[in-house]
């Protein structure tokens, strides 16, 4: 029996990279999965591959920056699979390494709408569903080492991810007696396509950030993050709550 047998999970940003690997590993461990992504064609391709191998998944196009899409995502999972047990907030975008002197209101707002407000809305929907139905639930927030340190991206990305650390820890404490666990993963440099969301990069900001990026011993594989997401969603981590697991190959251990 798989570690997630008979569980239902929502994974955002599931069309590629870490989200794709998380969805694949969840299905391997017995979960049914709603693959939510702005890139519907990519999510549908992953879903079709998993279903062809005996998985039970559904693809859905959503923009996590839109409240109505987040609501519809959760409702769709309940409609298709009957319930939701696990929420994985993985979708996110980068800034352009802008320091505070260069960030625009528009860029700041967009990054927070995707990276922070979308996570908050999905968490809010989930905890209320679980409490209303007297159910256990697990939330896994894919954050970033940028949520724990100040030099891995620009000010907007870093601030948005620091906020998700607070969302994770506060919610874990608040709902600990309600059988709801909330944990995070802080990946370092991982081989994904998040760089495609970077536009108009700040030369000054990047020149500063690259001083720390050069210390990373290696890049990680998406599956290496996915395995941590399996652990946090399973009963193997039943006493783990409010924790952010740094998964960076030792990159940030020296500072």
For residue 11, the surrounding DSSP H or E stretch is strand 8-12
Burial 201-228 (b: 16+ CB within 10 A, else e): ebeebbeebeebeeebeeebebebbbeb
Beta-strand runs (E) in 57-136: 57-61, 86-89
Active site residue 157: yes
Cα separation, 220 vs 39, whole angstroms? 23
3-state SS assignment for residue 152:
coil
Cα separation, 166 vs 192, whole angstroms? 25
Cα separation, 146 vs 186, whole angstroms? 8
Among residues 26, 38, 129, 157, the one annotated as catalytic is 157
**At CA 248, angle to CA 221 and CA 250, rounded to 5?**
130
Would you say 27 and 44 are in contact if contact means Cβ atoms under 8 Å apart? no
Q: In terms of Cα–Cα distance, which of 79, 57, 47, 70 is closest to 9?
A: 57
Catalytic residues: 157
């Amino acid at each position: 029996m798989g570690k997630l047998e008979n569980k239902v999970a929502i994974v955002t940003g599931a069309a590629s990279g870490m989200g794709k690997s998380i969805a694949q590993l969840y299905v391997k461990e017995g979960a049914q999965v709603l693959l939510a992504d702005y890139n519907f064609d990519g999510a549908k391709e992953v879903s079709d591959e998993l279903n062809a191998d005996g998985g039970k998944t559904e693809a859905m196009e959503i923009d996590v920056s839109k409240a109505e899409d987040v609501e519809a995502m959760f409702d769709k999972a309940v409609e298709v699979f009957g319930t939701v047990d696990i929420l994985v907030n993985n979708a996110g975008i980068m800034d352009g390494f802008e320091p505070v002197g260069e960030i625009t209101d528009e860029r700041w707002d967009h990054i927070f709408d995707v990276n922070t407000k979308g996570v908050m809305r999905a968490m809010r929907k989930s905890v209320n569903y679980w409490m209303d139905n007297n159910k256990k639930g697990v939330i896994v927030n894919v954050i970033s080492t940028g949520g724990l340190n100040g030099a891995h991206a620009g000010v907007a990305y870093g601030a948005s991810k620091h906020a998700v650390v607070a969302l994770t820890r506060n919610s874990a404490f608040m709902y600990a007696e309600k059988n709801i666990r909330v944990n995070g993963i802080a990946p370092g440099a991982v081989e994904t396509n998040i760089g495609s969301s970077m536009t108009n990069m700040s030369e000054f900001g990047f020149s500063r950030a690259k001083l720390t990026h050069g210390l990373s011993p290696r890049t990680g594989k998406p599956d290496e993050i996915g395995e941590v997401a399996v652990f946090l969603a399973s009963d193997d981590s039943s006493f783990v709550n409010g924790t952010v697991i740094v998964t960076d190959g030792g990159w940030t251990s020296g500072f």
